[in-house]
């Protein structure tokens, strides 16, 4: 019972880590490991442990990436807001504030526990 738990597309190109895919593989790994424990199938136990660990790693990688993107949006938004305020460009200022707030929300969602 082997599964490609590395996040690759069909052309073997790496794709971005995904929280949902990570959670899926983590839960699936737990299920496979439990079946292995119930049946005594050590190959299922090992496969399940491995898939669970890979799923957890992918989830954490996606979380870190989301947090970093939030930081970038906050910084860029703040810069745009200040430049807009200084130059009198109210649209740039408003868009900067929106981007800053979006980045802050993205950081909150992806903050490590």
Q: What share of the chain has pLDDT > 90, as a percent? A: 83
pTM: 0.73
CB atoms within 10 A of CB 8: 11
Quote the CA–CA distance of 79 and 92 in Å, as a whole number: 10
Quote the CA–CA distance of 5 and 91 in Å, as a whole number: 45
pLDDT tens-digit readout, 69-109: 999 999 999 999 999 999 999 999 999 999 999 999 999 99
What per-residue confidence (pLDDT) applies to 1? 43
pLDDT tens-digit readout, 11-30: 444 688 999 999 999 999 99
Give the domain ranges of the chain.
Answer: 19-110
Closest to 5 in 3D by CA, of 19, 31, 25, 34: 25
Place 112 in a pLDDT band, splitting at 50, 70 and 90: confident
């Amino acid at each position: 019972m082997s599964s490609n738990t590395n996040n690759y597309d069909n052309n073997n190109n790496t794709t971005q880590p995904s929280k949902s895919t990570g959670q899926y593989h983590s839960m699936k790994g737990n299920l496979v490991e439990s079946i292995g424990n119930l049946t005594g199938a050590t190959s299922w136990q090992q496969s399940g442990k491995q898939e669970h660990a890979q799923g957890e790693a992918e989830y954490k990688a996606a979380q870190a990436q989301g947090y970093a993107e939030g930081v970038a949006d906050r910084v860029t938004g703040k810069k745009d807001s200040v430049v807009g305020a200084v130059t009198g460009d109210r649209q740039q200022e408003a868009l900067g504030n929106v981007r800053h707030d979006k980045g802050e929300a993205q950081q909150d969602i992806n903050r490590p526990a």
